[in-house]
């Protein structure tokens, strides 16, 4: 059996234990409004290559990247024997007047997943990253005077709670918050504060190992801290040399991505072995989603996906 194939036993174990997925962002399908959008790979190729490289699930990607008809979405996912496990929903949470539009956006995505038969999929809520010029310019080097003001903190948390409650009450779908460089809620201190301000019954944490490291923390140090709210995990590696090169060039978040700040798994400084050991100790049996964020047209996504899956197998998954 080669690395691109899954045996029946491996598939069975993945269902019973930690399950490994990949996401469209690893193929350059991002939520940002970029000039490179025209270079995006089509969803059919992305799903084919996710399957071919040994993964058993995917996230939705930016709404509209995959089919928006529930029947067609389910058909495309299931004909490749994959699962749809979540969808990224960015919202300008710090502005109270944006909350209702955020609720509408989250409900629209939740409705699609629910009607397609993926009732256990998650809303992966995040700030509307890449929109604040200061935060985008200083990704990976945020100072305290760049953080939210007091009212904005309150509005941010209230908006997150409102969206999560609306989605849960309407479709029974859970919400996790995704901290993200290039937007608000990036640093470990910011993550701590948001978790303290939000309802633990409504909002879990999507721990993204690469964004946590880029934001100045050690992802292996926080899993037990948030054990009860760790509902979703993104595996992403972090290349500190690329981050430094971008900083030296006064580059922004997108420049850092171009320079390879999110490298192949095992080639950066994230201690995935320690993370997997802790996840096993916590009896974590949900999804790990590989995300190697690239811009449209960058690199060789299928090759990287294969390499990342092979690396994860060395960790026993």
Lowest mean pLDDT among 61-65, 75-79, 140-144: 61-65
pLDDT at 39: 54
Q: What is the pLDDT of residue 41?
A: 85
pLDDT at 35 over 90: no
Residue in 291, 269, 300, 287 with CA at minimum distance from that of residue 86: 287
* CA–CA dist 194, 154 (Å, integer): 9
Answer for the pair 224, 278: CB distance below 8 angstroms, yes or no. yes
pLDDT at 30: 75
Question: 225 by DSSP, 3-state: which?
Answer: coil
| pLDDT over 90 (residue 288) | yes
Instruction: Give domain limits for the chain.
Output: 8-314
Tell me if the domain spanning 8-314 has CATH number 3.30.2310.20.
no
pLDDT at 37 over 60: no
Categorize the per-residue pLDDT at 264 as very low, low, confident or very high, splitting at 50, 70 and 90. Answer: very high
- CB atoms near residue 201 (< 10 Å): 12
**From residue 178, how far is each of 205, 207, 211, 262, 293 by CA, in Å?**
7, 7, 9, 16, 14
Mean pLDDT of all residues in 248-266: 96
Residue 8 has pLDDT above 80, yes or no: no
User: How high is the pLDDT of residue 257?
Assistant: 94
**HEC assignment per residue over 103-160:** HHHHHHHHHHHHHCCCCCCEEEEEECCCCCHHHHHCCCCCCHHHCCCHHHHHHHHHHH
pTM, 2 dp: 0.92
Task: Quick: pLDDT tens for 195-241.
Answer: 999 999 999 999 999 999 999 999 999 999 999 999 999 999 999 99
Measure the CA–CA gap between 119 and 177, rounded to whole angstroms.
18
Rounded distance between C-alpha atoms, residue 197 and residue 126, angstroms = 15
Q: Is the pLDDT of residue 125 over 90?
A: yes
The confidence band for 38, taking pLDDT boundaries of 50, 70 and 90, is very low
Query: What would the mean pLDDT of 148-157 be, rounded to a whole number?
Result: 98
Mean pLDDT score of the chain, rounded to an integer?
92
What is the end-to-end Cα distance of the chain in Å, rounded?
A: 16
Token pair for residue 47? 């799903």
Map tokens 């699930």 to a residue: 57
């Amino acid at each position: 059996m080669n690395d691109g194939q899954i045996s029946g036993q491996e598939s069975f174990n993945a269902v019973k234990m930690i399950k490994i997925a990949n996401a469209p962002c690893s193929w350059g399908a991002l939520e940002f409004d970029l000039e490179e959008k025209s270079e995006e790979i089509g969803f059919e190729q992305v799903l084919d290559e996710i399957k071919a490289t040994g993964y058993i699930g995917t996230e939705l990607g930016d709404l509209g990247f995959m089919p928006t008809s529930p029947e067609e979405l389910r058909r495309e996912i299931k004909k490749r024997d994959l699962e749809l496990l979540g969808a990224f929903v960015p919202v300008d949470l710090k502005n109270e007047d944006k909350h209702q539009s955020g609720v509408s956006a989250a409900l629209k995505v939740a409705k699609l997943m629910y009607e397609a038969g993926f009732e256990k999929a998650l809303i992966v809520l995040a700030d509307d990253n890449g929109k604040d010029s200061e935060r985008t310019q200083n990704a990976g080097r945020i100072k305290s005077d760049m953080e939210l003001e007091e009212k904005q903190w309150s509005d941010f948390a209230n908006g997150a709670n409102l969206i999560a409650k609306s989605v849960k009450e309407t479709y029974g779908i859970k919400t996790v918050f995704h901290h993200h460089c290039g937007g608000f809620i990036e640093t470990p201190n910011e993550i701590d504060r948001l978790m303290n301000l939000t309802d633990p019954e409504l909002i879990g944490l999507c721990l993204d190992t690469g964004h946590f490291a880029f934001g100045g923390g050690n992802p292996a140090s926080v899993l037990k801290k948030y054990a009860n709210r760790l509902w979703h995990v993104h595996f992403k590696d972090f290349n500190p040399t690329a981050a430094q090169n971008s900083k030296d060039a006064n580059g922004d978040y997108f420049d850092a991505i171009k320079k390879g700040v999110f490298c192949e798994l095992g080639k950066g400084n994230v201690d995935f072995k320690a993370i997997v050991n802790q996840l096993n100790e916590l009896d974590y049996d949900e999804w790990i989603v590989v995300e190697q964020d690239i811009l449209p047209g960058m690199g060789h996504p299928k090759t990287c996906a294969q390499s990342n899956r092979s690396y994860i197998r060395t960790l026993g998954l």
